Chain A
């Protein structure tokens, strides 16, 4: 257990539905990251927050995806109008800016779109 928690751990949804995932980082970590991982591939960067500011979004993050980090604490990742191609593991990580540079990952949320 790294101290980063994600909920839910598994989500099955029908195509076209909206889903929201939550990430609770390690409390003193001011940086928070979202990654997506498909079967057989390494994680791919989606977006990054420093405190409450979203500083970068990957081109992988289409208009159907939105992420927030209100008050610089937990973060949510919402996917609207889900597609089968959205099926993946969604990983959250956190770190301390200027620290040892390591990112601590949560267990992930596995999304299956049917």
Chain B
């Protein structure tokens, strides 16, 4: 799997947008970008994934640059419950022969009141 680089930590004010960057300069053409988060003492939770187009769901938006070497996860209105470690993962889709997720250390997002 391609490696990703994320900042160790970030802060965000409650109610503001949280923009979490991820670099994945060695991503291959058929690899997707996945985002998971892990709230303290819980298992990781899927957020969103995409290949090259921007994606949006009820939790977040994913912006992938045109060259696919980096992406940004956007939480539009962060709440205190969004405080968690956010993992950016590059992987082949699970429907293919690859299936395991390779987690890095992620970004600890702290949402402040």
Contact = CB atoms under 8 A, between A and B. Distances in A.
Contact of B45 (A31, A105, A108): A105
Interface string B27-54: 0000010100000011111100100000
A95 interface: yes
B100 interface: yes
Chief secondary structure at chain B's binding surface: loop
13 contacts: A33-B99, A35-B103, A41-B103, A41-B105, A43-B103, A45-B100, A45-B101, A91-B43, A101-B94, A102-B34, A102-B46, A104-B46, A105-B43
Interface of A: 2, 4, 31, 33, 35, 40-45, 48, 56, 91, 93, 95, 97-99, 101-108
Given A31-B99, A42-B106, A45-B101, 19 more contacts: A35-B103, A42-B103, A43-B44, A43-B101, A45-B102, A56-B100, A91-B43, A91-B44, A93-B43, A95-B99, A101-B34, A101-B95, A102-B34, A102-B49, A103-B94, A106-B43, A107-B41, A107-B43, A108-B43
